[in-house]
Amino acid sequence: MKAERPYPQVRVTRKGERALAAGHPWVYAAEVTEADESIRDGGLADIVSGKGAYLGTGFYNSHSLIRCRLLSRNANDRFDDAFWQRRVQYAWDYRKSVMQPEDLHCCRVIFGEADGFPGLTVDRFGPVLSVQVLSLGMERIQERLLPILTRVLRQDGQDIAGIYLRNDVSLREKEGLAQNKGWFCLPGEPEPTLTGADIVENGIRYRVDFINGQKTGFFLDQKYNRQAVARLSRGRTVLDCFTHTGSFALNAAKGGAKHVTAVDVSEFAVECAAENARLNGLEDVMECRAANVFDLLPQLEKEPKKFDFIILDPPAFTKSRKTIDSAMAGYKEINYRAMKLLPRGGYLATCSCSHFASTERFMAMLRSAARDAGVQLRQIEQRQQCCDHPILWGVEETDYLKFFLFQVV
């Protein structure tokens, strides 16, 4: 006789069943055919097929288009503190296995669904864990989970002063959650007084504003791609477009570039990049300039060619499938202009951080841009996001960053 399950049930369509079987951890509202009346939003529910076969257990939210977020496919799992400790430990052990010890002081500790924590992001900036909670289920258990996370890291000898919640994103509203930010109160500990964190990535020092900086405070996913840029930069004149706080430009300068021009439309970002250059003693090599890249590149075409390495790291031009065509047009415009600016033998680093812009579409855009610019691309390497942002096969949302290095011939 089967043991009685403690969780209410959600019955799904054949389409939902197939998606789960293929490895995707979400059940959409349209895929739910029946849900027990006893289900509590943010609580756990068993997901079952039309015939009642167990498919997994996950968080339920009637306010979200993502009706269920899968936690486990193991019917024997008990979702107690021991379960969460094992899962945190597994995520941390993975980082320790795939990264150098010095990189663990600024890394993504938890990458949502790829680590089995649906809707949870945890970035480490030295002594601070910057946390973003984007699902109701995770919000409901954070009082249990975040102290466990802190304990696992501290028991491994990691210096963790506190946890800062960066829940000031509109995406939370789709889950029925309010926006907020501030220190998470760890039991029995005073609130930290830190207003920033000092980190070292690839030998470069940064002051991270985890309170007001974009996303969680700093983009960690390009860590090893920046190293690839640094290796190609020696003796070159580099143009870094969409520099943000200057990370690619700084790596190029430290890599031995003759001169680096770092450009961003945001005055604040340019000021941060300039401050980071001073912090690393690179201000004589690195010039920071506020300009719209879409206006600047055509202007530079009218001048003698002076850059032999151009870096394009734009923000996501699309966050939905509805705008993918206009986004690809934007990507093509800047890549076409960069290819026209570069001399034969020059180098191009180009990226997209939107998972909607698939690798296939991005490559097709690059081929089209090269054809229109009258150049040929010699690929040096194709890269992805850093390994602390693991790609979980079957979950396309985790595969988002495209990075290519080319020589223009």
User: Backbone phi, then psi, for 284, in 5-degree steps?
Assistant: -75, -20
SS3 state at 398 = helix
Fill in the amino acid letter for 135: S
Q: Which of 300, 404, 296 is nearest to 348 (CA)?
A: 404
DSSP label at residue 3: P
Q: Helix, strand, or coil here: 31?
A: helix
CA–CA separation, 190 vs 365, rounded Å?
Answer: 52
What is the CB neighbour count within 10 angstroms for residue 382? Answer: 12
Asked if 325 and 317 count as a contact pair (C-beta separation under 8 A), the reply is: no
Please give the C-alpha separations between residue 406 and each of 30, 262, 311, in angstroms, as whole numbers: 43, 20, 10
Tallying the residues shown for the chain, one arrives at 409
Q: Which amino acid is at 364?
A: A
Which has the closest alpha carbon to 164: 105, 218, 211?
211
Q: Reduce the secondary structure of 192-249 to three states and give it as a string.
A: CCCCCEEEEECCEEEEECCCCCCCCCCCCCCHHHHHHHHHHCCCCEEEEECCCCCHHH
On whether the CB atoms of residues 166 and 129 are closer than 8 A, the answer is no
Single-letter amino acid, residue 348: L
In the structure encoding, which two tokens stand for residue 254, read together?
């430290």
Q: Are 249 and 262 in contact, with CB atoms under 8 Å apart?
A: yes
Exposed/middle/buried for 62, CB within 10 Å: 0-12, 13-18, 19+? Answer: middle
Two structure tokens written together for 106: 């600024």
**What are the beta bridge partners of residue 197?**
208
Report how far residue 39's alpha carbon sits from residue 10's, in angstroms, rounded to the nearest whole number.
Answer: 9
Q: What is d(CA 67, CA 45) in angstroms, rounded to the nearest whole number?
A: 11
Do the strands 237-241 and 309-312 form a parallel or antiparallel pair, or are they unpaired? Answer: parallel
- Could you give the residue numbers annotated as active site? 353
In whole angstroms, give the CA distance from residue 348 to residue 377: 9
